[in-house]
Structure 1
């Protein structure tokens, strides 16, 4: 697939957004496999749950583990983060960049908590973040039940459905598959259970 056609020019470097990346059948299979995971695979976080596959986070790197079916092979190169959304849409909000160089100055008139853009992540879509959008921009998902389409949504033109300003979108349970390349991994494996 040539991802160049999916690059968002309305966002800082670099964002690719692919609507309908997976089929409805593939989405159903992913959701089924996620919910079929044993309880020890789930970690309860604030207002969400998490499963970690492919490795266990450790201060010295990831401890590798086998990835079950279905799986994806991960990003083409580092640093890249990819996300597939299943079950529901969400709105991913980005705030101004974190300045890492002491000589850099912030020329904006807005504080660090000012939202600069949002991305509407539709069901079955693929999001790829690289470069500044991966390294510098803070991102979050607001804990709301409904999202309102505004002029801050940078990918409206590339969404699979046509949305209009002011439209309200009702959220349901979303499952996101986030794939990251972890350069430091250990071949040491942990065996849980029998």
Structure 2
């Protein structure tokens, strides 16, 4: 064997990585936009997305558009709507980005994304609904409405953390920390530059 042959042992990594780099590929304005409003992921992707949550928890809400025959909400109904599936929320009157259609501020479904949890959104929940995470420092759960825990958080029975179950079932607060969201998508067409793609999806 030639003395110039490559020895693959020289390229073995002695251990797992302890440093990771996550680039900021969207602007601060775009980040705030995603936090402020429920949104769709857009037609550039195949109708399925997988989201892995690392670090802190988050409450993930799904919304629907208002139908044409929906009437204006009364003050009491509006107040109820702002209690996002049993959690506090800044969601008020909303209109969809791009389509201009009004969004019902009451989530049709809410999930508690625990650290290291994976959620896959597909089918009608992806193509005909919106999703978002409220821009809050803590998630407060209100039990005054008398609903069962799984009606506030749809994946309640799947939660591993007793602290989270206690807060949802009996009323309490979960303080957020730093969360990293790793999103896996299948992009049909890649636009030139992330900003151009983002603008296309926003409409």
TM-score by length of 2: 0.50
Structure 1 regions of 5+ residues with no counterpart?
1-27, 50-60, 63-77, 100-104, 190-194
Partner of 1:126 in structure 2? 118
For the 8 Å contact 1:95–1:116, the answer to whether it is kept is: yes
Q: Does 1:86 align with 2:54?
A: yes
Partner of 2:26 in structure 1? 43
For the 8 Å contact 1:98–1:138, the answer to whether it is kept is: no
Partner of 2:156 in structure 1? 156
Relative to its length, the structure with more helix (as a share) is 2
For the 8 Å contact 1:116–1:152, the answer to whether it is kept is: no
Deviation at 1:44, TM superposition (A): 2.8
Q: Does 1:171 align with 2:180?
A: no
Partner of 2:189 in structure 1? 184
Distance 1:93 1:155 in 2: 12
Structure 2 regions of 5+ residues with no counterpart?
1-15, 33-43, 74-102, 143-150, 194-203
Residue 108 and residue 134 in structure 1: after superposition, are their counterparts in 2 closer, same or farther (change >3 A)?
farther
Q: Deviations over 1:39-65 (max 9, x none)?
A: 6x543324848xxxxxxxxxxx79xxx
Residue 98 and residue 137 in structure 1: after superposition, are their counterparts in 2 closer, same or farther (change >3 A)?
farther
Distance 1:109 1:159 in 2: 36
- Greater Rg over alpha carbons, structure: 2
1:113 to 105, 116, 119: 105
Deviation at 1:133, TM superposition (A): 1.0
Match of 1:115, SS state, is: coil
Match of 1:129, SS state, is: strand
Residue 174 and residue 47 in structure 1: after superposition, are their counterparts in 2 closer, same or farther (change >3 A)?
farther
Relative to its length, the structure with more strand (as a share) is 1
Which deviates the most, 157-166 or 173-182?
Answer: 157-166
Match of 1:43, SS state, is: coil
